[in-house]
Amino acid sequence: MNPRRITVAYYTLVRKEWVRMTRIWSQTFLPSIVTTTLYYMIFGAFIGSQIAPIHGFSYIQFIVPGLVMMAVITNSYSNVVSGFFGMKFQHNLEEIMVSPTPNWVVVLGFVSGGVVRGVVVGILVLLTSLFFTHLTVYSFFVLISAAILTSILFSLAGLLNGIFAKGFDGISIVPTFVLTPLTYLGGVFYSIDRLPPIWRAISLGNPIIYMVNAFRYGFLGISDTPLVLSFGILIGLTVVLFMLCLYLFQKGIGMRN
């Protein structure tokens, strides 16, 4: 395929995902806004007022970036896993497989769908926070790149889950038993600097810590982890997962008998 046709194919994939997520907007855009609003209320307003400032910021200011990141992560992930697995399950994926669209474009198309959903929901959740606190931006560049890279990474992870899933339980096991615990223990609600050394060390094995901290740095200018390390991990994992997805597509694993 020439570059012009590739662009059309890519646009088609993203458009299809956009149409799908807007058609079922109450399942895609709404849930994160509802749950995050509850977090803002409970942890920010009700409990937060009783918690001492962290690195000089009020508790709600501290958790907003983490909660936005949590929304970005879960929405990117679930958009791709459910979109891809849905197509696989309906045999609808065959429409793509018989076509000359190269595998890397297909991967990029699904990932972009996840990024669109992650970023749109992220923005909505961020806007909701304005009802509870004011926004400070320390580095726009850091916060945007941390959000986009994280969204790409978890879209790829969702794709991986969709590729390997054989049934509907397969697309809920990983989010429930891996993604949710890692996110909740990913430094959204607390600074790992305040943890006992052993828990701090264990926490550093959780990749989400680095993403949440990089993103929080973009807003507040504070981070429990070195920024360079955070971006290094983000970029490294993204490259690895992209290559892995591409390899699985090339081999047809989870797609072709």
Tell me the site size for other proteins, rule CB under 8 A. Answer: 30
Query: Interface with other proteins includes 178 (CB under 8 A)?
Result: no
CB of 33 to other proteins, least distance (A): 24
Q: Distance between CA 140 and CA 37 in Å, rounded? A: 24
Cβ closest to other proteins, residue 97 vs residue 222: 97
Q: Distance between CA 235 and CA 180 in Å, rounded? A: 22
Cβ closest to other proteins, residue 194 vs residue 256: 256
- 């570059």: which residue's tokens? 3
Q: Are 255 and 249 in contact (CB under 8 A)?
A: yes
Query: Interface with other proteins includes 166 (CB under 8 A)?
Result: no
Cβ closest to other proteins, residue 63 vs residue 106: 106
CB of 20 to other proteins, least distance (A): 9
Query: Interface with other proteins includes 257 (CB under 8 A)?
Result: yes
Q: Are 256 and 170 in contact (CB under 8 A)?
A: no
Task: Give the list of residues 6+ apart from residue 38 with CB closer than 8 angstroms, or none.
Answer: none
Cβ closest to other proteins, residue 16 vs residue 55: 16
Query: Interface with other proteins includes 16 (CB under 8 A)?
Result: yes
Q: Distance between CA 112 and CA 155 in Å, rounded? A: 8
Task: Give the list of residues 6+ apart from residue 159 with CB closer than 8 angstroms, or none.
Answer: 80, 81, 84, 107, 110, 111, 114, 245
Query: Interface with other proteins includes 247 (CB under 8 A)?
Result: no
Q: Distance between CA 17 and CA 126 in Å, rounded? A: 23
Query: Interface with other proteins includes 45 (CB under 8 A)?
Result: no
Task: Give the list of residues 6+ apart from residue 98 with CB closer than 8 angstroms, or none.
Answer: none
Site for other proteins in 99-118 (CB under 8 A): 99-102
- 69, 71, 80, 96: residue in contact with other proteins (rule CB under 8 A): 96
- 22, 27, 49, 90: residue in contact with other proteins (rule CB under 8 A): 90
- The footprint of other proteins (CB under 8 A) covers 1-2, 4-6, 8-9, 11-13, 15-16, 19, 23, 87, 90-92, 94-102, 252, 256-257
